Every structure is written in C-alpha cells, then in structure tokens.
Amino acid sequence: MKNGFEKYIPFKPEVLPDREWPTKVITKAPTWCSVDLRDGNQALIDPMTIEEKLGYFKLLTEVGIKEIEVGFPSASDTEFRFLRALIEGNHIPDDVTIQVLVQARPELIKTTFQSIEGAKNVILHFYNSTSTLQRKVVFNTDVEGVKKIATDAADLIRALSEPYIQAGMNLTYEYSPESYSGTEMDAAVEICQAVLETLRATPEKPVILNLPNTVECCMPNQHADQIEYFIKHLPSRDCAIISIHPHNDRGTGVAAAELGILAGAERVEGTLFGNGERTGNVDVMVIAMNMWSQGIDPHLDFSNMRDIRERYESFTKLPVHPRHPYAGDLVFTAFSGSHQDAINKGFHYMEQTNSDYWEVPYLPIDPGDVGREYEPVIRINSQSGKGGSAFIMEYSFGYKLPKEMHPEFGMVIQHETDRVGKELHSSRIFELFKEEYVNIDFPYRMLSHQFIETENPDGSSHVKFIGTLQHKETVFDVEGEGNGPIDAFFTAIRGQRMDRFEFINYSSHAISDGSDARGVAYIQLRDQQGRDFFGVGESHNINLAPLRGIISAINRAVKAGSK
C-alpha cells in the first residue's frame, strides 16, 4: 500500500458556515421505506424467488414498514411477475404503499406503468445519474444533459399517470438524482427543481426527492451539510418530501442517516440488517432501535428480533453477525468480569428501586424489548469475574447468593474455566455449584435428626436438637438446646471437632413456589485461622436447610485443610 493512497481524490466538502443541524436533536421517527426487495435483493448471490419475496414482503409489513420498494419491474420478467403476484393475490395491505423503481428511459417507464395496473397506493420512483464522475465517465454530457434526461422522463411519467390517477390510484412521484453525494450541490438543486416544476408539484401533492448517498464518499457530518444545503437552496421546498438513501461504503451509514435526519430529511430508505450492494444499505432496524433507546417511538416493531432475523437469514441466505447491533447473538452478552459485576448490580438496583427507567450499565436497552431472555446476558469464560457466576445462579436457577459468597464461588468457576480453556455454559455452572456446596457429604454427614420446639410464656421459643451424625466411618449421637435450630445444633456439636468454627452469617430464601416450597440456606463460617467458608443447604423443611448448610461449610473447610 506504499503511496497507493495518492491516487485518490479527496472529497471536497460543501461550504456551509451557517449550518444548523449540529444543535438539533431527533424527536420523532422519519417515514421508513424498505428497499430490501429491490436494492437488497439485487445484491444477493442468489436473488430471492417469487415465493421468498412474498414471504419477505409479509415480514416487512409485520415489522410495520408502510412504504416498500418491491422491485424493478422493467428489469426482468421475474421482477414483473412478482409485482403482478403481489397485486393480483391481494397481498398488499390497504395502509401499505408499494414503490417501483425505473430508470429515466421511456421504454422502461412504459413497462413499469403496465406492472402497477390495479394497485391502490403506488410510489413511482424514477432516477438518473447526476454526479460529476458519472457525467464524465458514463454519459459524456454536462448538467444540462442530465437535467434534460430527468425532465423528459418526468414529462412522460406525468402524461402516462393520468388514466391511472383518474381510475382511483393513489400515485406519488419520487425522483432520485443518483449519486447525489458526488454531484455539485447547486447542480443537484437545479435538476431537482426542474423535476418538481415538470411534475407540477404542490404543497398539497408533494414529490419525494430522494437524495442517495449511492456511494458513501464523505464523513457523516459532510453528508448532513449536503442535505441541509440542498433544503435551504431548493426554491420549491414546500412542494417536496426530502428523503435520504444512505449506503455504507465507509461503514458510517447509520451515522450519515441520523445526521441527515438532523439536517432535515423526513424519510429514510434502507434495509433490514443493512443488506445491499457492496457494504450494504443503511440498516433501518439499527436507526429505529437507536431511537427506541432514546425514548422515541420508531413506529416499527422489533419485539421478536430472533424471529425477524431467522426469517431474514432464510430468505436472503445471509447470516447476521453475532455482534450486529440489537440483533446479534452476543450483543447483550458480557464476558468481562467488570461488565458482569456492573450489570448484576444494575439488575438489583432496578429491583430495589422499582425504577420506571432502564438503568443497567453496559446494556443500552432492555434485552426483553427485542424478545431476548436474560439468561444469555452474562456468559462465563476465563475473562469473567465473581459477579457473573452469581448472576447466572440467580437469573437462570433462582439462587440468590450472598454478596460475600461471590468471590469464593467465582474462584470455583475461574479454576474450571482455566482448566477447560473455554466458555462454561450455565448448566455446567449449576453442576459445579451443586458439587461444591450442596452434594458435599464428606467427612461429615447427618444421618437423622429431630427438633423439639416449645414456646415460653414470654413468646420466645426454645428448641432442642437430637441427631445422629457420621464422621468418616464413625457414627455418634448429639443433642443440644438453644433459642433456635441453628443455636441448638451448635450446642449439640460442642465438644466435637465440628465446633472449632465461628458462625458468621446466615441467609435463606425459597427456590420454588407453593405449599411444598423448597428453601435454600447460605451459611458463612470462620475457622481458627480466620478463613471464611460458605456452605449451602436445601430442604423443604425450613429448619433443616441451615443445618445442612453448616455441615456443607464444615466439610468444605476440612477439604481445604482447615485445622
């Protein structure tokens, strides 16, 4: 690549010293127009069949897109037959407008009119290239030459449309100066104004002027300048709907679209997941969900994102990247320990405060808004921290581990991820939890137990514990009294080697519902060297669960070499 960059001509930005768009904010959604079935379809290795296009059209209407460019009916028999199938099969909802694209060529325009016969709402979208490069390399003409191509087409379209309009068709005109981004702005204004006049546009019957960023050749702020310049200099601005059609050659299609809206664009043409020529069209889903994340209703429904994505992949045979914004498998997933800890705290904050707003770090939207479950939000690998495993235990399995227990359990999981060298699935994390805390019954076991509880005249309770325990091969009986089951158990084991631990903390909660609910108890003990150990006990008996937790903690301490 040495010195190869020198052959490229830098983009010359428009001079716009009085630009207004930088101080504006987006407050409402634009009109959305899908070009999936035309711009997207023509970019596929294997274009969709008529049946697949019908399925995709249905998907777009379910998402809520009201203007859909269905194809280039004069380009091929397949495109023509698809449009006829849409119309004759009554597949077009009354509130949806179909859009057809045609070059500014007489014979293609006439075929296009034949294709829309019988449709209720139609946008007839015609275009010709106007850029400096296209004029020089492709057409060998000047601005007057490309303007004449546009106005001649507009003349013919207006004449051919009269019988269709008289028959009741709601027909809207759309004109695109293709490669607008590479056209001198004054020339673009001149050409588009001439088209408006030829089509006799009025404020009551405006024409859509679509300004395509056909090849993204400048930064998004410069694109916004182009849009604002055009709007400010167009004499018949009130007779036009300003539309943008960003591509993604520089990887900034979404930014260009959003800044274009700030600059005054009222309509956006794009595709789901950014399919399209070269690096694709702008992704309307991302723009819409960006608005959603700012408290703006995009008037599109992505609440079942997984279904939308799977149907898109089936129709186009293109995969959606796992890191694709809002839709990828991994976009709501945290592997980093610090991210996991912040997300975990965010979920607890939401529960504790009952906040009306979404306030979870690292998650720009609630995954539930797009139909995602919370289980995959945190996944565990060698980069994960103590909070991630606790999050999975709570939100996947209902175990609310005490905060003080998080580092200890995190180390258990860390050792396993280091050993296997890959991600641990939630089922394996649960297995390790059970193995480490619940199913540990050596060297101590409780073989039998009995509680005798009495209530004193002052309302306090008195509990006697009688039990049979086993240490390795030795079986022994113990009994003790206290003001509760835990106190009575510690009294009972006094004099045994089990009593060398100090009781630090205890918490419990239910992990199932109903009259036969199962409870879990978390016990924190401290040995004579000052080391803390946690144990976990489960039982349908609220008195038995903590005792099992105590034995679990003692066994874990012995296993760790506590003296």
**pLDDT tens digits, one per residue of 248-273:** 999 999 999 999 999 999 999 999 99
Tokens matching residue 323: 């890191």
The average pLDDT across 31-44 equals: 96
pLDDT at 140 over 90: no
Percent of the chain with pLDDT over 70: 99
Nearest 5°: CA angle at 441, between 440 and 445? 150
Torsion of CA 16, 19, 25, 26, to 10 degrees: -50
Q: Quickly name the fold that domain 30-316 has.
A: TIM Barrel (3.20.20)
Helix (H/G/I), strand (E/B), else coil: 9 = coil
Q: For residue 461, what pLDDT band results from cuts at 50, 70 and 90?
A: confident
Model confidence pLDDT, tens digit, residues 470-498: 999 999 999 999 999 999 999 999 888 78
CA distance 95 to 120: 10
Return the CATH number of the domain spanning residue range 444-559: 3.30.160.270
Token pair listed for 132: 């400096």
Residue where the block lists tokens 């005109």 = 173
**Between vectors from CA 210 to CA 212 and to CA 170, what angle results, nearest 5°?**
145
Contact by Cβ (8 Å): 95, 60? no
Q: What is the mean pLDDT of the chain?
A: 93
Please report the pLDDT score of residue 64 as a whole number: 98
Dihedral angle, C-alpha 231, 233, 236, 237, nearest 10 °:
20
User: Domain coordinates of the chain in residue numbers?
Assistant: 30-316, 337-436, 444-559
Residue 371: both structure tokens together: 């139909």
**Given this model, what pLDDT does residue 79 score?**
94
Handedness of CA 150, 153, 159, 165 (dihedral sign): negative
pTM of the model: 0.82
pLDDT at 276 over 90: yes
pLDDT in tens, 427-438: 999 999 999 999
User: For strand 461-471 and strand 444-455, is the pairing parallel, antiparallel, or unpaired?
Assistant: antiparallel
Closest CA to 382 of 435, 420, 355: 420
Tokens describing residue 128: 């010709």
